[in-house]
């Protein structure tokens, strides 16, 4: 018997002849017809294993495990002949992509089908079982023919935790028989719904950033295969019909004519089968190819024909009555997904030769003749070492090549810090990433200073640049700079540590430093922080630097060992001081050196909070800095003893919770020494409220100004046409654009960040400067995003507004954040600001 392999990518060791189990259909195996129930994830895994055991040309493997310990699996399905050469086929494909050396000897198309990235778009996983069965069903002559020149890889469920959350909800709440009334409870999933993963991340926004364990595992195997066609299966609202590619504008300019053309070929083949049945569908609308972190764009920027397929079905349960009075069943939905799967494999098989040739051509062009203006990205070697190490390991995870130049010299490029072309000196310590490599187009999409937007109406954010996210000194160059030497990771070298020093000193500049601070606090070590910079033994320590004195830590058993081993475990540089008397700045006993009280953190979660925003904070504490957090539900918030905590975090959301009585309790708690951290919608819930100094920007002057700008715009463009109405809304809109925020770097909220922060703004809220309080991050003067799209009215309204502010109240503080710095958890500097709010402010 072939066994499901438990380690990722120990490929094909179980080939050969085995005692064969009999192949069962899904109905035979499950005991019910597909579509009669929502199958739980483990049953699907067992079914795939059954197919693997019954077939010599199928291999099912586990490639990872979710946060809730469910297996992540994928299946390889090929003709018996191809299956014998499957490792050769995989290697040959990497050779075509320029990711392995040598000349290919096989020529086979590779189609990859991914299902159920959104857990409550639940038809997909059901469809995957029908699809794998028909691919190996001995009575199916068509699939046998297709497999002769096409290998199919299936990931039957990208998001098992979310999928089971949905299936369990439905199985527990559904009527028997199923109720088609749209108002029935079975059609109204409660917060947080099944869409996202365990930490409530949208895995279809995470392909590029890989913040989640599911993405990290999947990207590894994806890059070991590099398929030619990739389909990401979804569902949309059940009153919509079916969407399949070709995609809508905007399409990023790195997408090739061939990629557009073959989307069309596949689309027409899908349409053929839908036409035969009279099923409705649409193409070329709504779903664009721009933001690089989707299940369609990531493959597209990696050379595949990447596509999203969407069946109407979210909330439909097993059956529902649509607006048009039709009944929509799970059986129909999975049949539609099954149909596009088959049609896509068929179209790929019919064009397999061309598909493989064009794939090879794509990479030849990518590697030899890239057409975009910026050819090399230089990230200065004197950036913070933790950030460089993190960024380079991210590059490696995507099979991106980088390293150092052979020699230093003068160079010129777009300077991300000034947004202008500047001269600079390239050194052999700088990290060089050029685009003459297989992942060249993907590199362009994440690093280019400005992406061309063919249409300002997009499904997602319009800016995401990692260089701004990390706040790095970097340049984009029009010339190619070759990588001559392997990157030398920045390692901390600790010199001999003084015996029983007066104090240990640590810099505080990165999230690794935050994690270290959290580790010390968990061990009961008392830590201080210098609000001002100081000089000791000729070394500069910036504001925020951590000071661990021997005095006050007498209670910590084996103190020196505890501090030193925590520092070594997290790669921190240990500095020691034999005196508290500094050369310049405040001595360690000064009132400018604050004792940092360990935060006891409460985080609001549940209905009214944005599940995504809640998850971002939850994941940050548990998985990134490993610090405890207590989640408190909005449904019983009023009954909790807030005084058990000294930090309360209100993530983005849309709140009814904060009425006069609740605000009164929070007001008292802050006055007693609590620290309230408000983010985006959490911030707006406290605007113009009694006891809180935050004011929404709505003065008559500002309104008049914004109207004037809009009027001028209209005079230029003429009256609005009916068909343009949707587009007209854009002057008020913002789709995730990056603004340059000026920081007051003397305030603890800005520690480790310098005087500029690039904020990824995803909402239109704007506030006046705090009258009583610290305006730590502001948008000063005229506004225009450094990257991305924002309407004219919005830019006007953002002039001279507060983005990050701190109000001191009684013994406590309120931290207002207009933007969400935790958005999708890929903005390194955003997480630093948030960390400062948690650990540094008000201490
Ligand atoms: Zn979806």
Express each pLDDT in 200-251 by its tens digit.
999 999 999 999 999 999 999 999 999 999 999 999 999 999 999 998 888 8
Q: How far is the CA of 167 from the centre of ligand 1 (A)?
A: 16
Q: How far is the CA of 163 from the centre of ligand 1 (A)?
A: 12
For residues 475 and 383, the answer to whether their CB atoms sit within 8 Å is no
Q: How far is the CA of 234 from the centre of ligand 1 (A)?
A: 4
Q: How far is the CA of 232 from the centre of ligand 1 (A)?
A: 9
Q: Is 521 helix (H, G, I), strand (E, B) or coil?
A: helix
Q: What is the pLDDT of residue 93?
A: 98
Hey, what are 92's tokens?
């040959």
Q: What is the pLDDT of residue 702?
A: 60
Q: What is the pLDDT of residue 697?
A: 81
User: What sign does the dihedral 751-757-762-765 (CA atoms) show?
Assistant: positive
User: What sign does the dihedral 580-586-592-596 (CA atoms) show?
Assistant: negative
Q: What is the pLDDT of residue 256?
A: 95
Q: How far is the CA of 166 from the centre of ligand 1 (A)?
A: 13
Residue with tokens 């794509």: 362
Which run of H or E residues covers position 776? strand 774-779
Q: What is the pLDDT of residue 7?
A: 40
Cα distances (angstroms) measured from residue 372 to each of 376, 453, 478, 826: 11, 14, 9, 25
> Up-side HSE of residue 230: CA atoms within 13 Å toward CB?
21
Q: How far is the CA of 683 from the centre of ligand 1 (A)?
A: 29
Q: How far is the CA of 653 from the centre of ligand 1 (A)?
A: 21
CA nearest 41: which of 154, 212, 170, 161? 161
Q: How far is the CA of 236 from the centre of ligand 1 (A)?
A: 7
For residues 679 and 694, the answer to whether their CB atoms sit within 8 Å is no
Spell out the SS3 assignment of 692-747: CCCCECCCHHHHHHHHHHHHHHHHHHCCCCHHHHHHHHHHHCECCEEEEEEECCCC
Q: What is the pLDDT of residue 727?
A: 47
**For residues 514 and 674, what is the distance between their CA atoms, to the nearest angstrom?**
21
Q: How far is the CA of 296 from the centre of ligand 1 (A)?
A: 11
> First-to-last CA distance in the chain?
63
Q: What is the pLDDT of residue 13?
A: 37
Q: How far is the CA of 237 from the centre of ligand 1 (A)?
A: 10
Hey, what are 690's tokens?
């009694």
Q: Which residues contact 311 (CB under 8 A, 6 or more apart)?
A: 123, 234, 235, 236, 242, 333, 336, 337
Q: What is the pLDDT of residue 15?
A: 32
DSSP 315-349: T--SEEE-TTS-EEEHHHHHHHHHHHHHHHHHHHH
Q: What is the pLDDT of residue 68?
A: 98
245: number of Cβ within 10 Å: 26
The neighbouring-strand residues paired with 236 are: 312
Q: Which residues contact 719 (CB under 8 A, 6 or more apart)?
A: none
Which run of H or E residues covers position 431? strand 431-434
CA nearest 439: which of 563, 311, 293, 302? 302
Q: How far is the CA of 51 from the centre of ligand 1 (A)?
A: 27
Q: How far is the CA of 710 from the centre of ligand 1 (A)?
A: 35
Alpha carbon 27 to its chain's center: 37
Q: How far is the CA of 71 from the centre of ligand 1 (A)?
A: 21
Residue with tokens 């603004």: 739
Q: How far is the CA of 121 from the centre of ligand 1 (A)?
A: 6
Q: How far is the CA of 205 from the centre of ligand 1 (A)?
A: 10
Q: How far is the CA of 686 from the centre of ligand 1 (A)?
A: 33
Q: Which DSSP state fits 79?
A: -
CA nearest 521: which of 602, 601, 620? 601
The pairing of beta strand 528-530 with beta strand 812-817: unpaired
Q: How far is the CA of 242 from the centre of ligand 1 (A)?
A: 13
Q: Is 583 helix (H, G, I), strand (E, B) or coil?
A: coil
Q: Is 504 helix (H, G, I), strand (E, B) or coil?
A: strand
Q: How far is the CA of 325 from the centre of ligand 1 (A)?
A: 24
The ranges of the chain with pLDDT < 50 are 1-17, 727
Q: How far is the CA of 77 from the centre of ligand 1 (A)?
A: 25
Q: How far is the CA of 43 from the centre of ligand 1 (A)?
A: 22
Q: How far is the CA of 203 from the centre of ligand 1 (A)?
A: 9
Q: How far is the CA of 118 from the centre of ligand 1 (A)?
A: 5
Q: How far is the CA of 612 from the centre of ligand 1 (A)?
A: 14
Q: How far is the CA of 829 from the centre of ligand 1 (A)?
A: 29
Helix, strand, coil content of the chain in percent (nearest 5): 35, 20, 45
> Up-side HSE of residue 133: CA atoms within 13 Å toward CB?
20
**For residues 232 and 218, what is the distance between their CA atoms, to the nearest angstrom?**
13
**For residues 821 and 830, what is the distance between their CA atoms, to the nearest angstrom?**
4
Hey, what are 759's tokens?
């904020």
270: number of Cβ within 10 Å: 26
Q: How far is the CA of 195 from the centre of ligand 1 (A)?
A: 8
Q: How far is the CA of 39 from the centre of ligand 1 (A)?
A: 19
Q: How far is the CA of 202 from the centre of ligand 1 (A)?
A: 9
User: What sign does the dihedral 238-762-766-670 (CA atoms) show?
Assistant: positive
The neighbouring-strand residues paired with 379 are: 431, 474
Q: Is 147 helix (H, G, I), strand (E, B) or coil?
A: helix
Which run of H or E residues covers position 594? strand 593-595
**pLDDT tens by residue, 617-676:** 999 999 999 999 999 999 999 999 999 999 999 999 999 999 999 999 999 999 999 999
Q: What is the pLDDT of residue 490?
A: 83
The neighbouring-strand residues paired with 312 are: 236
Q: Is 61 helix (H, G, I), strand (E, B) or coil?
A: strand
**Rg of the chain in Å (alpha carbons):** 28
Burial of 838 (0-12, 13-18, 19+ CB in 10 A): buried
Q: How far is the CA of 309 from the centre of ligand 1 (A)?
A: 9
Q: What is the pLDDT of residue 1?
A: 41
Q: Is the pTM of this model over 0.75?
A: yes
Q: How far is the CA of 610 from the centre of ligand 1 (A)?
A: 17
Q: How far is the CA of 245 from the centre of ligand 1 (A)?
A: 15
Q: How far is the CA of 74 from the centre of ligand 1 (A)?
A: 19
Q: How far is the CA of 120 from the centre of ligand 1 (A)?
A: 8
Q: How far is the CA of 14 from the centre of ligand 1 (A)?
A: 35
Q: How far is the CA of 113 from the centre of ligand 1 (A)?
A: 14
For the beta sheet containing 503-506, the strands, ordered from the edge strand earlier in sequence to the opposite edge, are 575-577, 503-506, 546-549, 528-530, 593-595
Alpha carbon 189 to its chain's center: 24
CA nearest 576: which of 600, 549, 595? 549
Hey, what are 757's tokens?
């922060």
């Amino acid at each position: 018997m072939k066994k499901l392999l438990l380690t990722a990518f120990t490929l094909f060791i179980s080939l050969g002849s085995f005692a064969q189990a009999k192949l069962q259909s899904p109905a035979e195996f499950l005991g019910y017809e597909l579509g009669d129930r929502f199958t739980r994830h483990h049953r699907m895994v067992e079914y795939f294993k059954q197919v693997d055991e019954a077939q010599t040309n199928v291999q099912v493997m586990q490639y990872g495990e979710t946060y809730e310990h469910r297996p992540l699996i994928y299946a390889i399905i090929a003709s018996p002949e191809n299956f014998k050469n499957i490792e050769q086929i995989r290697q040959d494909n990497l050779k075509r992509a320029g990711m392995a050396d040598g000349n290919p000897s096989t020529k086979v198309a590779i189609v990859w089908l991914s299902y159920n990235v959104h857990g409550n778009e639940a038809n997909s996983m059901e469809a995957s079982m029908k699809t794998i069965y028909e691919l190996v069903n001995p009575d199916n002559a068509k699939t046998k023919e297709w497999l002769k020149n096409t290998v199919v890889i299936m990931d039957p469920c990208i998001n098992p935790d979310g999928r089971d959350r949905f299936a369990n909800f439905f199985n527990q709440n559904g009527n028997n028989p199923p109720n088609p009334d749209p108002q029935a409870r079975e059609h109204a999933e409660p917060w947080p719904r099944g869409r996202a993963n365990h930490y409530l991340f949208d895995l279809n926004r995470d392909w590029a950033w890989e913040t989640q364990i599911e993405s990290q595992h999947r990207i590894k195997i994806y890059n070991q295969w590099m398929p030619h066609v990739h389909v990401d299966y979804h569902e949309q609202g059940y009153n919509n019909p079916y969407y399949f590619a070709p995609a809508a504008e905007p399409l990023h300019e790195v997408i090739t004519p061939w990629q557009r053309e073959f989307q069309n070929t596949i689309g027409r083949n899908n349409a053929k089968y839908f036409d035969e049945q009279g099923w409705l569908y649409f193409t070329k609308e709504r779903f664009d190819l721009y933001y690089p972190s989707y299940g369609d764009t990531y493959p597209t920027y990696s050379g595949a024909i990447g596509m999203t397929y969407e069946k109407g079905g979210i909330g439909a349960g097993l059956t529902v009555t649509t607006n048009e009075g039709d009944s929509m069943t799970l059986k129909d939905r999975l049949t539609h997904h099954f149909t596009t799967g088959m049609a896509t494999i068929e179209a790929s098989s019919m064009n397999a030769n061309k598909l493989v040739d064009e794939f090879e051509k794509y990479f030849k062009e990518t590697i030899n003749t890239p057409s975009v203006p910026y050819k090399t990205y230089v990230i200065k070697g004197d950036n913070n070492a933790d950030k460089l190490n993190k960024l380079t390991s991210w590059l490696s995870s995507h099979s991106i090549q980088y390293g150092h130049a052979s020699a230093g010299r003068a160079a010129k490029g777009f300077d991300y810090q000034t947004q202008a072309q500047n001269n600079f000196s390239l050194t052999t310590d700088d990290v060089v990433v050029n685009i003459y490599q297989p992942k060249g187009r993907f590199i362009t999409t994440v690093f280019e200073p400005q992406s061309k937007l063919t249409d300002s109406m997009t499904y997602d954010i319009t800016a995401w640049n990692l260089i701004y996210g990390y706040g790095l000194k970097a340049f984009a160059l029009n010339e190619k700079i070759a990588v001559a030497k392997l990157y030398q990771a920045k390692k901390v070298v600790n010199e001999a540590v003084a015996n029983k020093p007066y104090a240990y000193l640590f810099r505080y500049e990165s999230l690794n430093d935050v994690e270290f601070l959290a580790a010390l606090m968990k061990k009961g070590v008392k830590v201080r922080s210098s609000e001002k910079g100081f000089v000791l033994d000729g070394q500069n320590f910036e504001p925020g630097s951590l000071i661990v004195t021997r005095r006050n830590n007498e209670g910590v058993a084996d103190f020196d060992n505890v501090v030193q081993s925590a520092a070594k475990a997290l790669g921190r540089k240990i500095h020691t001081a034999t005196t508290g008397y500094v050369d310049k700045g405040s001595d360690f006993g000064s009132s400018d050196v604050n004792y940092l009280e360990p935060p006891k953190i409460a985080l609001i979660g549940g209905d009214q909070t944005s599940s995504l925003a809640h998850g971002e904070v939850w994941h940050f504490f548990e998985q990134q800095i490993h610090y405890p957090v207590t989640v408190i539900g909005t449904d019983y918030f009023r009954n909790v003893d807030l005084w058990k905590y000294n930090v309360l975090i209100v993530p983005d959301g849309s709140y009814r919770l904060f009425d006069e009585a609740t605000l009164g309790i929070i007001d008292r708690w802050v006055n007693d020494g609590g620290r309230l951290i408000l983010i985006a919608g959490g911030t707006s819930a406290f605007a113009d409220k009694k006891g809180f100094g935050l004011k929404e920007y709505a003065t008559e002057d500002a309104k008049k100004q914004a109207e004037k700008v809009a009027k001028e715009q209209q005079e230029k463009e003429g009256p609005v046409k009916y068909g343009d109405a949707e587009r007209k809304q854009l002057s008020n809109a913002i789709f995730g654009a990056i603004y340059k925020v000026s920081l007051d770097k003397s305030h603890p909220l800005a520690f480790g960040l310098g005087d500029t922060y690039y904020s990824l703004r995803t909402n239109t809220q704007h506030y006046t400067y705090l009258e009583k309080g610290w305006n730590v991050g502001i948008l000063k003067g005229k506004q225009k995003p450094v990257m991305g799209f924002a309407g004219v009215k919005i830019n006007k309204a953002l002039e001279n507004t507060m983005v990050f502010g701190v109000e001191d109240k009684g013994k406590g503080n309120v931290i207002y954040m207009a933007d969400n710095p935790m958005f999708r958890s890929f903005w390194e500097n955003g997480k630093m600001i948030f960390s400062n709010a948690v650990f540094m402010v008000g201490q």
